[in-house]
Chains A and B, each alone.
Chain A
């Protein structure tokens, strides 16, 4: 697992030197995961495809700016993708769009952690997620995966805004304490 994270760093370094083959390889390795992220957040295929293009064009031009402070290459790419998507949906509110069907949702049955990288503490994250109570987990999930604001989470769950905010804050607080200083 360690090697695959480093492999992606090696690819990124090559991409920074203008290596199109390395670019294609990293695209093949990471785009389906990033597409899932974008599809789930944006709920529209054409928008998700556009974001994916933007993300990889960004990566091509900024590969040499990767910093380990941002986590693994994969995590950094997830960050870029999520930021792009969230910027978009804040410009176009979600209320008119339905949540995506379950096929793009997290599936805990088929061991989604099996392919992830140890350097980002995924096992720890998984354990910590288990420690959230169901309300906290649901709120965090609606915000993180579905791109909802506090207000949208509250409306979706038909609970007062204050409750949604508190659950989210407590959920984040628990994750921070559980995961320690990473």
Chain B
């Protein structure tokens, strides 16, 4: 990673991948070069990784701009579009002319075709649109080479008052727990993390040893954090439950959101 952009110049005059990735994120590529790059992004994991590194480097620059007040209509339009999509998803057979969100189009027969497309295809096209966008393609396509390094959010554990207290992320076979807003633990107690699946007995994932607000639980097998699992944290005696089952109060719970 110490190679400079100049050092990476390849023979034959083609710009090095890292330079193209940097220019893509910076935004200097021409329209056609940008399109070519976006199509390559979907197929080349190495290019995606370089691009993401440049996104992490450069895009925080946007925080240097002074926030600008957003007109209230923007949120109203977003809500209307969401409700419109939801409505169509639920009532896809509803005649188009009864849709309330595009009256100006409905009243004009010339707009029938595009509107028919909008009304019948909006959910599908929006989905397609999302998935073909380069920024999402990386997630849709497996990144085998980097799988072990990727850290994914898998759950939020909340108190019984539904207040988020922990974020749980997965990296390989480890879970990384980060404290958002958890109460302190008495010195003679420990927090223990559990995996609960259906009506099976809870299985311990380990004791939570916090360092700087984070704890790592290692050797977590996939079945312990599969989709139907609820994670829970209980307050236990020092060094964990003596029985192998939760003995103290369950302080935080949350469902696995994705695996």
On A, residues with C-beta under 8 Å from B are: 2-3, 6-7, 9-10, 12-14, 16-17, 20, 24, 27, 31-37, 39-40, 49, 52-53, 56-58, 60-62, 64-72, 74-76, 78-83, 86-87, 90-91, 103-108, 110, 112-113, 115-116, 120-122, 125, 129, 140, 143-145, 147-151, 153, 168-169, 172-173, 175-177, 179-182
Contacts and interface: CB of A to CB of B under 8 A. Distances in A.
Contacts of A52: 70, 74
B60 A107 contact: no
A52 B78 CA distance: 9
A79 B150 contact: no
A64 B258 contact: yes
A116 B134 CA distance: 26
B60 A53 contact: no
Interface stretch (B61-69, B108-116, B237-245): B61-69
A29 to B, nearest CB: 10
27 contacts: A16-B257, A32-B68, A33-B63, A35-B69, A36-B67, A40-B65, A49-B73, A49-B74, A52-B70, A53-B74, A57-B78, A62-B136, A75-B62, A78-B62, A79-B25, A90-B30, A90-B31, A108-B64, A113-B64, A121-B56, A122-B60, A144-B27, A151-B30, A172-B22, A176-B57, A177-B4, A180-B1
A157 B27 CA distance: 17
A176 B16 CA distance: 14
Contacts of A116: 60, 63
A13 B153 contact: yes
Contact of B52 (A27, A69, A103, A176): A69
A180 to B, nearest CB: 8
A66 B134 contact: no
A148 B30 CA distance: 9
A127 to B, nearest CB: 13
Contact of A2 (B30, B138, B213): B213
Interface of B: 1-2, 4-6, 18-19, 22-23, 25-31, 34, 49, 52-53, 55-71, 73-75, 77-78, 81-82, 126-127, 130, 133-136, 138-140, 146, 150-153, 155-156, 164, 167, 169, 178, 180-181, 213, 257-258
Classify the secondary structure of B's interface with A.
helix
B161 to A, nearest CB: 15
A14 B155 CA distance: 10
B1 A181 contact: yes
B68 A104 contact: yes
A79 B63 contact: no
Contact of B257 (A64, A80, A115, A140): A64
Given A65-B139, A116-B60, A182-B53, A143 B31 contact: no
Contact of B135 (A10, A33, A79, A103): A79
Contacts of B62: 33-34, 36-37, 75, 78, 81-82
Contact of A33 (B4, B67, B134): B67
A46 B27 CA distance: 21
Given A68-B169, A125-B61, A168 B26 contact: yes
Given A57-B126, A172-B22, A91 B81 contact: no
